[in-house]
Structure 1
Amino acid sequence: MDLQPLPAFDDNYIWLLRDTDGRALVVDPGEAAPVLAALADAPVPHAILLTHHHGDHIGGVAELLRRWPGIPIFAPQDERIAIATHRVDDGDTITAGPWRFDVLEIPGHTTSHVAFHGRLPEGMSLLFCGDTLFSLGCGRMFEGTPAQMLASLRTLAALPVDTLVCCGHEYTAANAAFALTVDPDNAALRERAAQARAQRAAGRPTLPSTLASERNCNPFLRSDNPAVRAAIATHVGHSPSNDIEAFALLRRWKDGFRA
């Protein structure tokens, strides 16, 4: 398996997955130039996967189609992604080259957001989750509700723990600062934060993460943890009445957080 995060814009990643012949699967190409450079001498890609409609995830598709007309484009049911050739829904299974992916609807960041999860022939579990789950964080809720986002994160957290988490942005170091404020006694989190700092200092991506690490370290997957709940209560001055309120308060805390 050849899995590569291509940097784009200030902090985006476009994901490439290549087979043994060099043919690629392209995920969330917000701009075309990094993809065209990486695949300059490669065969025509198998397909393009799109997780949601935001321009920094779909903006490069038109130019890629001019270079490689007819590539299948899998995208959620959303008229704002007019360039799609194949619409996907929750529970669908898609095939692209040698790979099969299950489609998971994960609204919250947007109402039509999807993820693609597959168990590759090499045995690796792989998740393309766009802007819903980040390493040590989660996406802002531009269109969805806290209840939707919490449910979506729980859907992702229930995947196999060896799953590689391929998200859309390099936010790990910034997310670590907030996570350590919420959960400072978490040894696994401290180790992950140090690892992320070292990776960025060396010019390397912090992704993919693993779902095992996120379940141990990410406060948004741990909003029902007693230590995280206590931190939320201290921050807002009262105990959350339920899981949804706890998550909403945690996300609001992050929205206003400055390291």
Structure 2
Amino acid sequence: MFVESEKNVSKLKNFWVEFFADRRDGGHRSSDEEFIFMEAKEKLFHLDGGKTLLDFGCGAGELLVYYAPEYEQLVGVDFSESMLDEASKKIKERKYDNISLIQADDKTVWDKLECSFDRITAAGVIQFFTLQELDSFISNASNYLNKGGKIVLFDILDPRLYPLWKMGLFSQDADLWKILRKIGFEFKVMLSASLSNRPRDILGFAHNPYAVKKIADRYGFETIFVKSMYYEYKYHAIISRTSEAQKV
């Protein structure tokens, strides 16, 4: 059972919609093309084939254009017009004719799709969903997944590691004084957010992998979790039909 205050969730959603409305980059750790290329290679490894791909929350298309050579047809989806504008520029620059873009969110996208997919993916998106919204996303995605297909959710905030990262424990020059300063800074950020009715964490919710697995199980999927190579406080969820469900 999911328990969330509708009023609080609405405030969070409105904040994040406004925050991303005029953004023109996907918020990767580095905007350097070499880094994006390596990040895309890791994600392609976990996507593991397929001919058609839906990239939900494609943002400015940084990863989408690296996925393009590996797929016959791709659809990128984002609610932000400015993000899609940047994605369109990248697609035109690289002269890809196998990518379509759709402006939609997790509730409206499904009515705009004209086909099903071998792979449905989302990178750095799920942390902006409540568990109830994640449940709905996986349920809807399962209806647009081809036989043998996979839903691959990249870069989910790990509640076990994310607090340690925020404290600076993964920093190469971490020491006790810097960690204490970081803890104090994070406390002030959380207090300020609470007083101004903003999210306590701009990066969204940290979802326990067991909660993600429980949702996937409900729809007949099996889930494999993999630690992200490029974000030490994030993990990936590779969701596919169980062998029994595949036979149905």
- In proportion to residue count, which structure has more helix? 2
TM-score by length of 2: 0.35
Flag the structure with more relative contact order, 1 or 2, with Cα contacts below 8 A and sequence separation at least 6.
2
